Structure 1
């Protein structure tokens, strides 16, 4: 059984970070999220992947190639025009097994596939949808189930008092290939608004299975930041890189930390990072590989990707910097999000 990773979305809510890259390639604790995901699934025995691409497909193809560096096999299905979630699956149909797993590749999670596959075998339907219970379902597609786990209907972004449950579509599906006959070719099709409701109405057998563990949509800047703080605090089984000092500070290899530097946990420091004297780093800071932080800098609640430079006396709070950005001396930034071309968005 192979796994289809949907990685073709535009990532509009995470711009400007995703202006020139697919959202699943955004760094999560100093590694592209898509790489985390592939390695997590490989640990569960998945060896064959298909990746659905649209937005800057060359970035993913160049990075992963045929997958052999990671000990897996990767094929690609590229959309010539936006096809939506169901259309992307239909476009990949020639590469898919008779039964396959679909995963939205821009959701951060540590889901185990085995319970989903076992549930799919038990109920005998054609689709199993992973369901996650959340406190506030109003920003998601909420499902109503019967006592057997069969899904009766979807309610998209309901008001809290109108939500039939707190179980949301987690963006992970086990599917029998014959259901793809219900998806039209060569046009945009939403799996949530068109395909699943049609399959439910046609009594194809669409079931839900609750999943446990960590799950977070990284689609907005606030969610992107908060999932990092979750991971640094150990909320997920996903591995956090660096050597743990036992007090919430994780540091990569080859780092140089100046005198009088204060690290306030949780902090993740990548490889070959330099931090100047008397700087205060943290709480809630991620520094990518080869970042250079000058003296007397103050960083909090911020994420800097690889090769960023922050000069003497600058202050950053609630910021996200893309690759290779530079901030001059004594600048003060709050809630700034900047991509590698320097475009800033408050």
Structure 2
């Protein structure tokens, strides 16, 4: 059984970070999230992957190639035009096994798939949707189920008092390939608004089961930050690179920490990072590989991708910086989101 990773999203709400980058390639703990996902699924026995790509697909293909570096096989289904979630699955049909797993590749999770697969085999329907429970369902498509856990309908962004449950689509499915006969070709198709309601009407068996484990859509800058803080405080247990000293400081290889510099946990420092004298990094800071941080810098609640250069006496709070950004001396930045081209959003 192979896995289809839906990696074609535009990531509009994460711009400017994703202006020229597929959203699943955004760094999470100094590694592209898509790499975390491949490793996580490989550890659960998946060896055959199909990646549905659209937005800057060359970034994904150049990084992963055929997957042999990770001990897996990867093929690519390229969308020439945006097709929506269901359309992307249909576009990859020729690569898929008779039964396959679909994972939205822009959702950070550590979900175990075996219970979902066992449940799918037990009920005998054509689709099993992994569900997650949220405190506020008003921003999602909420599911209504019967006592057998068959999904009866989706209610899009209901008022709280009208929500049939707090269960939403987690973006993880087990599907029989024959279900794809209901998806039209060569046009954009929404799986929640069009395909799943059609499958429910056709009574092919659409079931839902609540998944366990960490789950977070990284589609906004606020959620992207929260994912990192959850990683650092270990609410999310995905692996963090570097050596952990037992007190919430992860330090990569070949780092230079200047005299009087202080790391305030929790903090993650990548490989080959230089930190100048009397700088204070943390709490809740993630510094990418090959970054240079000057003297007397204050950096907290900030995520910095690889190869950034932060000059002397800069104060940073609640910022996100993309690859290779350089900041001049003596600036104060709060809630800035900047990419290499210098674009900024508060």
Q: TM-score, normalised by structure 1?
A: 0.99
Q: Does 1:266 align with 2:258?
A: no
Tell me which residue corresponds to 1:231: 231
In structure 1, stretches of 5+ residues that fail to align are none
Tell me which residue corresponds to 1:311: 311
Distance 1:202 1:239 in 2: 42
Q: Does 1:81 align with 2:73?
A: no
Distance 2:217 2:183 in 1: 26
State the secondary structure of the residue aligned to 1:87. Answer: helix
Distance 2:162 2:315 in 1: 44
State the secondary structure of the residue aligned to 2:296. Answer: coil
Tell me which residue corresponds to 1:253: 253
Distance 1:221 1:261 in 2: 29
CA displacement, residues 158-180 of structure 1 (integer Å, 9 cap, x when unaligned): 12111111111000000000010
Counterparts of residues 81-230 of structure 1 (less than 5 Å): 81-230=81-230
Higher mean displacement: 25-34 or 154-163: 154-163
Distance 1:193 1:317 in 2: 40
Distance 1:10 1:111 in 2: 24
CA displacement, residues 140-186 of structure 1 (integer Å, 9 cap, x when unaligned): 21111111110011111212111111111000000000010000000
Higher mean displacement: 334-343 or 29-38: 334-343
Distance 1:268 1:6 in 2: 29
State the secondary structure of the residue aligned to 1:173. Answer: strand
Tell me which residue corresponds to 1:16: 16
CA displacement, residues 213-257 of structure 1 (integer Å, 9 cap, x when unaligned): 100010000110011000111112311111111111111111111
State the secondary structure of the residue aligned to 1:129. Answer: strand
Distance 1:8 1:328 in 2: 35
Distance 2:293 2:138 in 1: 40
Q: Does 1:279 align with 2:313?
A: no
> How much is the aligned-residue C-alpha RMSD, in angstroms?
0.7
- List structure 1 runs of 4+ shifted beyond 4 angstroms: none
State the secondary structure of the residue aligned to 2:8. Answer: coil
Tell me which residue corresponds to 2:342: 342
Distance 1:140 1:229 in 2: 23
Alignment length, in residue pairs?
A: 346
Shift in Å at residue 131 of structure 1? 0.5
Shift in Å at residue 70 of structure 1? 0.6
Tell me which residue corresponds to 2:240: 240
CA displacement, residues 71-107 of structure 1 (integer Å, 9 cap, x when unaligned): 0000000000000000000000000000000000000
